[in-house]
Amino acid sequence: DGGITQSPKYLFRKEGQNVTLSCEQNLNHDAMYWYRQDPGQGLRLIYYSQIVNDFQKGDIAEGYSVSREKKESFPLTVTSAQKNPTAFYLCASIRTGTGGVDGYTFGSGTRLTVV
């Protein structure tokens, strides 16, 4: 079955440490997205990529970095510059060029906690 796989499910980060969250999709979707979810604040867009080797900042990109070397993969690195990284991180993808007729597909999320 096609879908999006996020790993790990839980991640603990020490102060000053960079960590990388994995997002892999086998849906042949063109565009991929990273969202952050905090209680009571809804989903906020961190970065997105609509084509391989290209990505754009979202609304809250500071302290995060991404790469898109393969169509299937869109890893997110949370750097030490992100002062409040504790949150639930969600990866999504969509097939473009169709007017978005298929809508978003989401992964199961990664919960990141600073220890």
Binding residues for another protein, per CB under 8 A? Answer: 6, 31, 33, 35, 40-43, 45, 48, 50, 58, 88, 90, 92, 94, 96, 99-109, 111
Residue 28 beta carbon to another protein: minimum distance, rounded to whole angstroms:
15
Cβ proximity of 3 and 28 under 8 Å: no
Cβ proximity of 66 and 77 under 8 Å: yes
Residue 83 beta carbon to another protein: minimum distance, rounded to whole angstroms:
23
C-beta closer to another protein: residue 11 or 31: 31
C-beta closer to another protein: residue 11 or 94: 94
Helix (H) or strand (E) holding 81: none
Residue 100 beta carbon to another protein: minimum distance, rounded to whole angstroms:
5
Q: What letter would DSSP give residue 70?
A: B
C-beta closer to another protein: residue 80 or 106: 106
- β-pairing verdict for 10-13 and 110-114: parallel
CB atoms within 10 A of CB 6: 19
